[in-house]
A and B are shown apart, each in its own frame.
Chain A
């Protein structure tokens, strides 16, 4: 088992791109090797060691690597990008693109995550105890497939476009979400504990379940009647009927 603890050396004001903070990059590496990994601050190339203090205990491959982030990472982007195994524990907030394209392992966040958390993720698990911003589990600009597999859990709220262009996997938001969750959804499952508005426009496949109130329905869904899902009765809709979509939308 290898545990790597990293902390910002000072307050980070200019945003940092740190896709190298990942068990795949840290696994089996010494403190010095990790410190020498590249990071970018604004348009300046730098190293993780310049920006963060790094402490390594034990040694092991990526699957046996735990990364603990202490302190404020709210201006640090792309943490855990493309990770395939291991664990990242974040004790505060993080910036955009957390766990983008990850295919395995687990990321756990005590605070909030900024936009595009779990973007285009293929597998693994992302747990956020705070809130998520826009485009949770979505595709980046123009992409036809967002999240393709794995699971995202948000215990707080999320903003607009949860799971936009999602093609697989599962997203659970315990609180409310902004408008258009599951926009252009093409597979996968989104469960919203709280309220939302205009879910599932342009859906071709996939499932959206809303347990709270839907402020406004898009007029592109066809009501199919009542149906019980896991013992709870919902109004079942299918759509988007304009695109002959086979998406399922369950609303209380």
Chain B
């Protein structure tokens, strides 16, 4: 199966292509140097061509996503589209049904998406959903930040055992990397408490969030995992939390990367860049966070951009969600995953005329505009916490057009003028920078840049074509066209197969599931397992034998090998 894409205005920052007319040859699902004369020719007609979109942080599958669906039947009254010959019926906006996740990402030109948090114990559910999400490649990050074994090994300062536990946890959950959510807070929430900063001690474990974060970074590099530690900072969602965020980001200096990537990815920074001391003097500190990123090369972040309207917050940050539910008088679901973290789900409606919401909206955009290197600030909405992923086109058009931003600023609460710097920012991102924030950068941060996020030879033939001619459009003025084009791809090609044409799904192949198989010395594994066996005997409600996700749950695996290597500590 050969395909030749001609006349595309290609934006491929990894290979230094900035809108040049470049032919792309595809054979057997990969991009190759050239194809035979028998290849199917697709004439892009001068339209914008990029690698398929890659999302490094989105909640698309698993227990809390499904809790969101159950507690929000009203959400499924929107986004309804009936069955077609190819697609199943779709419902929902913030918490769409399983199939809609794949269709809607593909319709936007996205071909790879990573679920941002799964508890090991709930991983089977995550994979049951991932198995049914059509088209896209996917994977899931595994929660380690409040797990009892993690905290025990951190207290013992036994990095070998911790590395062995992480390796085993990734296998048990068929997970892709280390997610760390409000480290220590998930455990404290079991007693109705939370941690308030990096140095609060988690009782009965005698460890601090600081120690947990640093230890997980160390073992992440010992194991040489493709992705870095993926951190949801302590104090998320509290005014004044930017100080905790900066202090957390400082910790990245203590560990050296084992690969050409960051050692810490700080996620949905919109919710962590808050100044002030309460909701009254609430203000943006996005400039401080961006400034830090501009001066450090071992750390990356993503926006978590907020979208006005309906959203469903869902996170392993259980205590935060209780506070949210109280504040908003909203529906609340709480989850306790035994020895591994907590969780909560709360619906929210973001309103333009509420000052805090308007400031939050501005913070996300400030982060993207003030961070100089787009490789350090990925485009996300922390779906569906900041808003549903179908709004990426709105975010792209805002970042590309100061005119659009100024028009929007007129419609939101006046607090954006006094409490943020957004009104004075005139930077407008170009197509290359957008390609980095949605493709090259996300792939690099995930450690998948060899096959994802670019259009060089050897890359996966995941390609999107958008209905705009870059040399004939001024994104600053014609922002509506930009939004419309990025919301509905002219073509999405996944593994060399056309899956979307003119915004309509044309084929629904099943994508692959990425997971990481990390090897540690057998002795470390055996020692670690003694502790695990004891924990299952004493505390878990299920048997160890029933804990692991079996291979049957991952029918199209893409296994990345990793293993223990010595780590250099600064």
* A→B interface (CB under 8 Å): 139-144, 204, 243
Contact A142 B73 (CB under 8 A): yes
List of 5 A-B pairs having minimum Cβ-Cβ separation, nearest first: A142-B74, A142-B73, A141-B73, A143-B74, A142-B72
Cα-based distance from A71 to B74 in the complex (angstroms)? 33
CB-nearest residue of chain B relative to A244? B329
Cα-based distance from A143 to B72 in the complex (angstroms)? 8
Cα-based distance from A143 to B331 in the complex (angstroms)? 10
Cα-based distance from A140 to B77 in the complex (angstroms)? 10
Chain B, 57-81, CB within 8 A of any chain A CB: 71-75, 77
Determine the chain A residues whose CB is within 8 A of the CB of B329 once the complex forms: 204, 243
Determine the chain A residues whose CB is within 8 A of the CB of B77 once the complex forms: 140
**Distance in Å: Cβ of A193 to nearest Cβ of chain B:** 31
**Distance in Å: Cβ of B324 to nearest Cβ of chain A:** 15
CB-nearest residue of chain A relative to B330? A144
CB-nearest residue of chain A relative to B76? A142
* B→A interface (CB under 8 Å): 71-75, 77, 329-331, 347
Determine the chain B residues whose CB is within 8 A of the CB of A139 once the complex forms: 74
SS of A interface (majority):
loop
CB-nearest residue of chain A relative to B71? A142
Cα-based distance from A142 to B77 in the complex (angstroms)? 10
**Distance in Å: Cβ of B399 to nearest Cβ of chain A:** 32
Determine the chain A residues whose CB is within 8 A of the CB of B71 once the complex forms: 142
**Distance in Å: Cβ of A137 to nearest Cβ of chain B:** 16
**Distance in Å: Cβ of B97 to nearest Cβ of chain A:** 15
Cα-based distance from A210 to B331 in the complex (angstroms)? 28
Cα-based distance from A52 to B72 in the complex (angstroms)? 37
Cα-based distance from A90 to B73 in the complex (angstroms)? 31
CB-nearest residue of chain A relative to B72? A142
Given contacts A142-B74, A143-B74, 17 further A-B contacts (CB under 8 A): A139-B74, A140-B73, A140-B74, A140-B77, A141-B73, A141-B74, A142-B71, A142-B72, A142-B73, A142-B75, A142-B331, A144-B74, A144-B330, A144-B331, A144-B347, A204-B329, A243-B329
Determine the chain B residues whose CB is within 8 A of the CB of A143 once the complex forms: 74
CB-nearest residue of chain A relative to B70? A142
**Distance in Å: Cβ of A72 to nearest Cβ of chain B:** 29
Determine the chain A residues whose CB is within 8 A of the CB of B330 once the complex forms: 144
CB-nearest residue of chain B relative to A186? B329
CB pairs A–B below 8 angstroms (19 shown): A139-B74, A140-B73, A140-B74, A140-B77, A141-B73, A141-B74, A142-B71, A142-B72, A142-B73, A142-B74, A142-B75, A142-B331, A143-B74, A144-B74, A144-B330, A144-B331, A144-B347, A204-B329, A243-B329
Cα-based distance from A204 to B331 in the complex (angstroms)? 14
Cα-based distance from A139 to B329 in the complex (angstroms)? 17
Residue of A140, A144, A204 most packed against chain B (CB within 10 A)? A144
CB-nearest residue of chain B relative to A141? B73
Cα-based distance from A204 to B329 in the complex (angstroms)? 9
Cα-based distance from A243 to B332 in the complex (angstroms)? 14
**Distance in Å: Cβ of A156 to nearest Cβ of chain B:** 29
CB-nearest residue of chain A relative to B74? A142
**Distance in Å: Cβ of A78 to nearest Cβ of chain B:** 13
Determine the chain A residues whose CB is within 8 A of the CB of B73 once the complex forms: 140-142
Residue of A140, A142, A143, A204 most packed against chain B (CB within 10 A)? A142
CB-nearest residue of chain A relative to B326? A243
Cα-based distance from A143 to B349 in the complex (angstroms)? 12
**Distance in Å: Cβ of A77 to nearest Cβ of chain B:** 15
Determine the chain B residues whose CB is within 8 A of the CB of A140 once the complex forms: 73-74, 77
**Distance in Å: Cβ of A79 to nearest Cβ of chain B:** 19
Determine the chain A residues whose CB is within 8 A of the CB of B75 once the complex forms: 142
CB-nearest residue of chain B relative to A145? B74
Cα-based distance from A142 to B75 in the complex (angstroms)? 8
Determine the chain B residues whose CB is within 8 A of the CB of A204 once the complex forms: 329
Cα-based distance from A140 to B71 in the complex (angstroms)? 13
**Distance in Å: Cβ of B410 to nearest Cβ of chain A:** 27
CB-nearest residue of chain B relative to A243? B329
Cα-based distance from A167 to B72 in the complex (angstroms)? 19
**Distance in Å: Cβ of B77 to nearest Cβ of chain A:** 7
Determine the chain B residues whose CB is within 8 A of the CB of A142 once the complex forms: 71-75, 331
**Distance in Å: Cβ of A205 to nearest Cβ of chain B:** 11
Cα-based distance from A141 to B77 in the complex (angstroms)? 10
Residue of B71, B74, B331, B347 most packed against chain A (CB within 10 A)? B74
Cα-based distance from A110 to B402 in the complex (angstroms)? 59
Cα-based distance from A139 to B331 in the complex (angstroms)? 15
**Distance in Å: Cβ of B68 to nearest Cβ of chain A:** 11
Cα-based distance from A141 to B70 in the complex (angstroms)? 11
Determine the chain A residues whose CB is within 8 A of the CB of B331 once the complex forms: 142, 144
Cα-based distance from A140 to B72 in the complex (angstroms)? 11
**Distance in Å: Cβ of A200 to nearest Cβ of chain B:** 16
Residue of A143, A204, A243 most packed against chain B (CB within 10 A)? A143
**Distance in Å: Cβ of B434 to nearest Cβ of chain A:** 36
Determine the chain B residues whose CB is within 8 A of the CB of A141 once the complex forms: 73-74
**Distance in Å: Cβ of B396 to nearest Cβ of chain A:** 31
Cα-based distance from A144 to B312 in the complex (angstroms)? 14
Cα-based distance from A243 to B72 in the complex (angstroms)? 21
**Distance in Å: Cβ of B95 to nearest Cβ of chain A:** 11
Determine the chain A residues whose CB is within 8 A of the CB of B347 once the complex forms: 144
**Distance in Å: Cβ of A65 to nearest Cβ of chain B:** 28
**Distance in Å: Cβ of A245 to nearest Cβ of chain B:** 9
Cα-based distance from A142 to B71 in the complex (angstroms)? 7
